[in-house]
Amino acid sequence: MENKIVIDGIFKESVPILTKIIDAGFEAYFVGGSVRDYLLNHEVNDVDIATSALPYEIKKIFSRTVDVGIEHGTVLVLYNNESYEITTFRTESTYKDFRRPDSVTFVRSLREDLRRRDFTMNAIAVDTNGYIFDPYQGMKDLKLGVIRAVGNPHERFQEDALRMMRAVRFAAQLDFEIEKETQLSIGENAALLENIAVERIQIEFEKLLMSSWRSKGLQAMIQSQLFKYCPELADKKEALHSLISDQISFERAEAAWAFLLYKIETHSLNKNFNPHYFLKKWKLSNKKIQNTLTLYYGLKTRVENQELNPWNIFNLGKDAALGIESLVSHLDQESKHDQVKRIYDNLPIYKKEELALNGHDLMKKTTKKPGKWISEALESALKAVVYKEIPNEKESILNWLDTENKIPYVNDRKSLE
Ligand code: ATP
Ligand code: MG
């Protein structure tokens, strides 16, 4: 590759920002993931800018800034309705406990800054004219499709063990090979992952699951034993293995997690596998856990019964039901996408709240104390309406509940009229 590239697109739009910093007497470069993705012709949504200017100096240059991560040297600059993250050249000198350090040391040298970056492909800088500064031969590795630690991999993984997860994630995202020494070093340092906050591991693992070359990342995780130090995965090697052969691409992260849960359950010898506990251990947000479990249980029902019935589809909602149909096509079952869509479109109601009868209506018909019977009666009415056994009208529902003996028939029952 040449040592000069054409500055285009979002990079070109960002040049005035760098120029302002340079005009104030400092250095400024495009760096990091945005440069990597640009060189790979991938879509770039945000540029990473590195500078010799200290955060307070950046704040003097631009009138509108936000301190997003000033202790790490990052200032957000608002300019022409866009925002730019600008990070001061830094080293991370004081590593403790194999974790990213709390404090950083600012430096004035780009080379020093690139040295603390994780992989050669992420340690390339480009100036406003498109000249490439690449002291660690990242361009060469990009061309070879290789993920290689900057410098000594042992040292780099001991400084920050998350980098091992980043390596396998990048392998999955980019269809790259992890360079031999780097891969061996992950094998030797895998246990250090235990020092890393689960939330950070989760972000990388989720990106891996969502990647086009997921199997590549999973293989690297298995080969290096990295999976053993991820939450609740130590004894799930078979499940991870079974995910390798799947060419599935997930539309949403929840679908990826649900599919993983399904694989774990089918490959688990332990019949007490608890999906909720598993997701909690991975520290997913409660909302994500709920959505994932909905998909997971829906998927199980779908596989067991060979299809989703109107009641399942009503409860799941359109997106989840269709999501499940795309998942089953990877479990040796034919997707019934069109059938599900047709059933959904023909549902008489789409939400519980649309039922023409509520608990108050029921209570008016009897003096029996409110209790579980109310929710049970409403649920059976809802089901009957969903199946179009009765129209969604208050009187029809009440009459139906009456004939089905769903309203307590006690002496003090009020007239239904
Ligand atoms: P993504 O496409 O997911 O954003 P990225 O490489 O841009 O990937 P970021 O977390 O945005 O990842 O980080 C930007 C840059 O900062 C990286 O390209 C790399 O140079 C550096 N970096 C990020 N995390 C680490 C780390 N744990 N150790 C060393 N350098 C890192
Ligand atoms: Mg990035």
Q: What is the pLDDT of residues 69-84, one digit of tens each?
A: 888 899 999 999 999 9
Query: Quick one: pLDDT at residue 100?
Result: 61
Q: What is the mean pLDDT of the chain?
A: 93
Cβ–Cβ under 8 Å, residues 298 and 316: yes
Nearest to 49 by CA among 6, 101, 11, 91: 11
What type of residue sits at position 414? K
Question: Ligand 1 pocket, 204 CB below 6 A?
Answer: no
- Which atom of ligand 1 is least distant from the CA of 33? 7
Predicted confidence (pLDDT) at residue 367 exceeds the cutoff of 90: no
Per residue in 211-270, pLDDT tens? 999 999 999 999 999 999 999 999 999 999 988 877 788 989 999 999 999 999 998 877
Residue 237 Cα to ligand 1 middle (Å): 28
- Which atom of ligand 1 is least distant from the CA of 32? 18
Which alpha helices (DSSP H) does 69-152 contain, by range? 110-115, 138-144
Residue 104 Cα to ligand 2 middle (Å): 19
Per residue in 283-310, pLDDT tens? 999 999 999 999 999 999 999 999 999 9
Nearest to 365 by CA among 310, 317, 413: 413
Predicted confidence (pLDDT) at residue 97 exceeds the cutoff of 70: no
Least confident of 216-220, 317-321, 413-417: 413-417
Q: Which residue has the higher pLDDT, 39 or 93?
A: 39
Q: Which residue has the higher pLDDT, 313 or 414?
A: 313
Other residues' Cβ atoms within 10 Å of the Cβ of residue 12: 12
Mutate to test the pocket of ligand 1, among 122, 192, 200 (most ligand atoms within 8 A of CB): 122
Taking the mean position of all CA atoms in its chain, how far away is CA 131? Answer: 34
Distances (CA, A) of 229 to 7, 162, 236: 42, 11, 11
Rounded to the nearest 10 degrees, how much is the dihedral formed by the CA atoms of 124, 215, 286, 314?
130
Of all protein residues, whose CA lies closest to atom 10 belonging to ligand 1? 33
Cβ–Cβ under 8 Å, residues 275 and 262: no
Of all protein residues, whose CA lies closest to atom 15 belonging to ligand 1? 32
Residue 87 Cα to ligand 2 middle (Å): 12
Average pLDDT over residues 192-217: 96
Per residue in 2-27, pLDDT tens? 699 999 999 999 999 999 999 999 99
Percent of residues, the chain, with pLDDT higher than 90: 82
- Which backbone phi and psi does 143 adopt, to 5 degrees? -65, -40
Query: Quick one: pLDDT at residue 368?
Result: 79
Cβ–Cβ under 8 Å, residues 10 and 45: yes
Percent of residues, the chain, with pLDDT higher than 70: 95
Residue 181 Cα to ligand 2 middle (Å): 25
Listed in sequence order, the residues at least 6 apart from 271 whose beta carbon sits closer than 8 Å to its beta carbon are: none
Question: Ligand 1 pocket, 163 CB below 6 A?
Answer: yes
Question: Ligand 1 pocket, 302 CB below 6 A?
Answer: no
Query: Quick one: pLDDT at residue 249?
Result: 82
Query: Quick one: pLDDT at residue 99?
Result: 63
Distances (CA, A) of 139 to 126, 148, 275, 383: 12, 11, 43, 61
Predicted confidence (pLDDT) at residue 417 exceeds the cutoff of 50: no
Residue 32 Cα to ligand 1 middle (Å): 6
Average pLDDT over residues 320-349: 94
Query: Quick one: pLDDT at residue 366?
Result: 78
Tell me the pLDDT band of 364, cut-offs 50, 70 and 90.
confident
Who surrounds ion ligand 2 at CB < 5 A?
A: 33
| b (16+ CB within 10 A) / e for 187-207 | eebbebbeebeeebbbebbbb
Query: Quick one: pLDDT at residue 269?
Result: 75
Question: Ligand 1 pocket, 18 CB below 6 A?
Answer: no
Mutate to test the pocket of ligand 1, among 117, 148, 157, 205 (most ligand atoms within 8 A of CB): 117
Question: Ligand 1 pocket, 156 CB below 6 A?
Answer: no
Helices 318-328 + 286-305 axis angle, to 10: 60
Residue 378 Cα to ligand 1 middle (Å): 52
Other residues' Cβ atoms within 10 Å of the Cβ of residue 32: 23
Listed in sequence order, the residues at least 6 apart from 243 whose beta carbon sits closer than 8 Å to its beta carbon are: 214, 215, 218, 259, 260, 263
Query: Quick one: pLDDT at residue 411?
Result: 46
- Which atom of ligand 1 is least distant from the CA of 123? 20
Per residue in 21-46, pLDDT tens? 999 999 999 999 999 999 999 999 99
Query: Quick one: pLDDT at residue 164?
Result: 98
Distances (CA, A) of 245 to 123, 218, 230, 240: 32, 10, 21, 10
